[in-house]
């Protein structure tokens, strides 16, 4: 049954009408310089990593080669999220239009179980899934990079890792933003580790040199011995020893058994755009597609980005998609996900049945839906397009800033605290306020549900956009808004990335907004409808590339040191 209320709300099908985006709003939005390239481009969280990747392609390497080089470079120059000790997801589209997604998400160690973080009374022990050796999943990043390289790489692994080894050994100068982050987290880093050789005692300032000899040695082992240089031998032993030191449960067998998985992408359509997204255990692809489908028939192009109707509509769709996420999504190797039901057009129409034009829903009244069962049919993101037309979209993470903040002694890298992405107990929120149930309970060898949303978009059969973001639960909605800013609101790539963002995730029942996102009049109107607000300094940090008129336009998020580099 279709909700007439909803149809009426969306009844002005002027989607393709020309809209003059308000100049004032453009001026109000944050902006940095638009970077344009005509052959290849990398947009990542750190200028050095972007340059390393661009140089690999300038020398003839492809986007997958650049991905490996950028990933290892970020592990050195962006240690709060770039990593050897974490995991992530890759969405790629080769020049001939084939799509491949690789799941290199961390896995729960074999000794993990559903009560891991509960006390005898069955209550969650605060901090256990976040701040301890027990919070680390078995790292997947190195396996992911090596598998993608094996399949698509053209440059030797040693040549791709060499720049990172040098950066780690010779050192790099930190930025203002990195100095501030180190000052903020230094106390915890010192409390949790006896010795991080490069952490100093004085206040950090921009321009300080960071040299990581241990990390250079770990990288060298990977360059020389490949998979065995990390998952076996000295580095593996260092991880196991570190885990034991803090009553962790990662064993040599866990490392030996780690393997990433090639999965079928989530593919959907929004108007003339084909969206290629990451399937579970990421919730990103499904949730993004659900939200897009719920809003597709509404003329938000006509309403504009800062209109109460646009925001109310998107928030209500987000509320419903995140409610579904809480119940239906988890690791598909352990839980039967009603993927096709969740993306079914009739199901998504029915999700908006209780949409009210003038009033915010109350999240406690919105239950996760019952999709039809159908027959089968501090994270960081980087986007790369090469001179051959291949595209790679990778989001990778340690979860929190510096993950568990536990440094593998002698190996030079941090362990993730990804186990917090599991549902420690049904109904109890994780660090992003996300709630889960049976689908995402801890089980040995299972992958924890993620919000990471590396995405590639096609238009008329050609590559159109590559994008993704960090930001925990806000990743999905950050990707959504940047996509809509370009496709509906006619913004350029950089402008779309810089524009202010808002976010709703069902529970807690409020709209999170960056400062100055809505003016007081718009906020007043939305409040009258029953929406509540909470300020956030930043929502997401999107790095994206738009392909237009045979040129590549970079969108590097000014919320960080993010940089586009191309030629």
Which residues participate in catalysis according to the annotation? 379
User: Residue 207 class from Cβ within 10 Å (0-12 exposed, 13-18 middle, 19+ buried)?
Assistant: exposed
What is the smallest separation between the CB atom of 434 and ligand DON, expressed in angstroms?
A: 8
What string marks each residue from 53 to 92 as x (binds ligand DON by CB under 6 A) or -?
----------------------------------------
Q: Which string of b and e fits 80-112 if b means at least 16 CB within 10 Å?
A: bbbbbbbbbbbbbbbeeeebbbbbbbbbbbeeb
Q: How many CA atoms lie within 13 A of 414 on its CB side?
A: 33
What is the smallest separation between the CB atom of 39 and ligand DON, expressed in angstroms?
A: 30
What is the smallest separation between the CB atom of 294 and ligand DON, expressed in angstroms?
A: 21
Contacting residue, 61, 412, 454, 472, with ligand DON by CB under 6 A? 472
Q: Which residue number, 379 or 404, has a Cβ lying nearer to ligand DON? A: 379
What is the smallest separation between the CB atom of 333 and ligand DON, expressed in angstroms?
A: 17
- CA 146: distance to chain centroid? 20
What is the smallest separation between the CB atom of 558 and ligand DON, expressed in angstroms?
A: 16
Q: Are 228 and 214 in contact (CB under 8 A)?
A: no
**What 3-state class would DSSP assign to 287?**
helix
Q: What percent helix, strand, coil does the chain show, rounded to 5?
A: 35, 20, 45
Whole-angstrom distance, CA of residue 233 vs CA of residue 224: 13
For ligand DON, which stretch binds (CB under 6 A), given 24-32, 94-102, 246-254, 471-479?
Answer: 471-479
Backbone angles phi, psi at 462, to 5 degrees: -115, 160
Q: Which residue number, 421 or 488, has a Cβ lying nearer to ligand DON? A: 421
What string marks each residue from 393 to 432 as x (binds ligand DON by CB under 6 A) or -?
----x-x------------------x--x-----------
Closest by Cα among 335, 152, 133 to 246: 133
Tell me how crowded residue 342 is: count the other CB atoms within 10 A of its CB: 25
Q: Which residue number, 218 or 451, has a Cβ lying nearer to ligand DON? A: 451
Q: Look-up: residue for tokens 């938000």?
A: 300
Contacting residue, 109, 468, 470, 555, with ligand DON by CB under 6 A? 470
Closest by Cα among 544, 332, 342, 564 to 448: 332
Total residues at interface with ligand DON (CB under 6 A): 13
For ligand DON, which stretch binds (CB under 6 A), given 227-235, 237-245, 470-478, 547-555?
Answer: 470-478
Contacting residue, 132, 310, 379, 563, with ligand DON by CB under 6 A? 379
What is the smallest separation between the CB atom of 470 and ligand DON, expressed in angstroms?
A: 4
- CA 47: distance to chain centroid? 19
* Length reported for the chain: 567
Token pair belonging to 446: 């299972």
Contacting residue, 408, 452, 484, 491, with ligand DON by CB under 6 A? 452
Q: Is 514 in the site for ligand DON (CB under 6 A)?
A: no
Interface positions, 30-49, toward ligand DON (CB under 6 A): none
Beta-bridged to residue 102, according to DSSP, are: 90, 262
Q: Which residue number, 310 or 450, has a Cβ lying nearer to ligand DON? A: 450
C-alpha angle 67/70/72, rounded to 5°?
110
DSSP for 34-55, please give it: PEEESS-EEEESSHHHHHHHHH
DSSP for 161-219, please give it: HHHHHHHHHH-EE--HHHHHHHHHHHHHHHHH-S--TT--SSPP-TT-EE--HHHHHHH
What is the smallest separation between the CB atom of 393 and ligand DON, expressed in angstroms?
A: 15
Contacting residue, 235, 396, 450, 455, with ligand DON by CB under 6 A? 450
Q: Are 556 and 32 in contact (CB under 8 A)?
A: yes
Q: Which residue number, 378 or 458, has a Cβ lying nearer to ligand DON? A: 378
Tell me how crowded residue 183 is: count the other CB atoms within 10 A of its CB: 12
Q: Which residue number, 310 or 455, has a Cβ lying nearer to ligand DON? A: 455
Q: Which residue number, 331 or 378, has a Cβ lying nearer to ligand DON? A: 378
**What 3-state class would DSSP assign to 491?**
coil
For ligand DON, which stretch binds (CB under 6 A), given 4-12, 70-78, 301-309, 467-475?
Answer: 467-475
For ligand DON, which stretch binds (CB under 6 A), given 68-76, 143-151, 447-455, 502-510?
Answer: 447-455
Q: Are 189 and 414 in contact (CB under 8 A)?
A: no
Contacting residue, 85, 471, 560, 566, with ligand DON by CB under 6 A? 471
What sign has the CA pseudo-torsion 32, 71, 81, 203? Answer: negative
What is the smallest separation between the CB atom of 544 and ligand DON, expressed in angstroms?
A: 16
Contacts of 534 (CB under 8 A, 6+ apart): 508, 510, 511, 512, 513
What is the smallest separation between the CB atom of 88 and ligand DON, expressed in angstroms?
A: 8
Contacting residue, 65, 378, 488, 509, with ligand DON by CB under 6 A? 378
Give the footprint of ligand DON on this chain (CB under 6 A).
378-379, 397, 399, 418, 421, 450-452, 470-472, 475
């Amino acid at each position: 049954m279709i909700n007439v209320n909803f149809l009426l709300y969306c009844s002005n099908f002027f989607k393709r009408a020309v809209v003059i985006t308000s100049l004032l709003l453009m001026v109000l939005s944050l902006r940095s310089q638009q970077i344009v390239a005509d052959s290849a481009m990398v947009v990542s969280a750190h200028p050095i990593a972007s340059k390393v990747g661009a140089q690999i392609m300038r020398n003839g390497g492809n986007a997958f080669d650049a991905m490996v080089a950028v990933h290892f470079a970020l592990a050195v120059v962006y240690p709060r999220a770039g990593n050897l000790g974490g995991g992530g997801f890759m969405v790629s589209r080769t020049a001939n239009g084939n799509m491949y997604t690789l799941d290199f998400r961390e896995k729960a160690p074999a000794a993990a179980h559903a009560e891991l973080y509960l006390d005898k009374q069955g209550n969650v022990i605060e901090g256990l899934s976040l701040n301890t050796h027990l919070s680390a999943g078995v790292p997947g990043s190195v396996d992911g990079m090596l598998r993608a390289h094996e399949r698509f790489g053209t440059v030797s692994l040693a040549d791709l890792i060499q720049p990172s080894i040098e950066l780690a050994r010779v050192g790099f100068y930190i930025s203002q933003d990195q100095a501030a982050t180190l000052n903020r987290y230094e106390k915890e880093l010192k409390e949790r580790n006896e010795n991080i050789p490069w952490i100093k005692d004085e206040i950090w300032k921009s321009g300080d040199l960071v040299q990581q000899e241990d990390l250079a040695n770990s990288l060298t082992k990977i360059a020389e011995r490949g998979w065995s240089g990390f998952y076996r031998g000295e580095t593996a032993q260092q991880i196991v020893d570190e885990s034991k030191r803090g009553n962790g449960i990662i064993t040599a067998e866990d490392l030996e058994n780690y393997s990433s998985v090639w999965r079928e992408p989530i593919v959907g359509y929004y108007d003339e755009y084909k969206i290629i997204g990451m399937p579970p255990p990421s919730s990103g692809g499904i949730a993004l597609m659900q939200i897009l489908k719920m809003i597709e028939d509404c003329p938000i192009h006509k309403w504009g980005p800062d209109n109460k109707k646009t925001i109310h509509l998107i928030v209500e769709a987000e509320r419903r998609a995140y409610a579904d996420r809480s119940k239906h999504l988890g690791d598909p190797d352990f839980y039967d996900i009603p993927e096709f039901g969740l993306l079914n057009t009739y199901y998504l129409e029915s999700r908006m049945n209780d949409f009210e034009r003038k009033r915010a829903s109350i999240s406690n009244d919105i239950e996760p839906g019952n999709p039809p069962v159908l027959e089968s049919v501090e994270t960081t993101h980087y986007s790369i397009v090469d001179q051959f037309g291949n595209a790679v979209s990778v989001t990778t993470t340690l979860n929190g800033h510096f993950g568990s903040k536990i440094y593998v002694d002698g190996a030079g890298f941090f362990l993730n605290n990804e186990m917090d992405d599991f549902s420690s107990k049904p109904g109890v929120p994780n660090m992003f306020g996300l709630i889960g149930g049976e689908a995402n309970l801890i089980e040995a060898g299972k992958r924890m549900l993620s919000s990471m949303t590396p995405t590639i978009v096609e238009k008329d059969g050609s590559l159109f956009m590559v994008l993704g973001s960090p930001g925990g639960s806000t990743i999905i909605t950050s990707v959504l808004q940047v996509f809509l800013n370009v496709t509906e609101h006619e913004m350029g790539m950089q402008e779309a990335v810089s524009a202010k963002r808002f976010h709703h995730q069902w529970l807690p029942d409020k709209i999170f907004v960056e400062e100055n996102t809505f003016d007081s009049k718009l906020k007043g109107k939305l409040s009258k409808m029953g929406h509540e607000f909470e300020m956030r300094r930043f929502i997401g940090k999107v790095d994206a590339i738009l392909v237009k008129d045979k040129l590549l336009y970079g969108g590097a998020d000014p919320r960080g040191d993010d940089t586009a580099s191309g030629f």
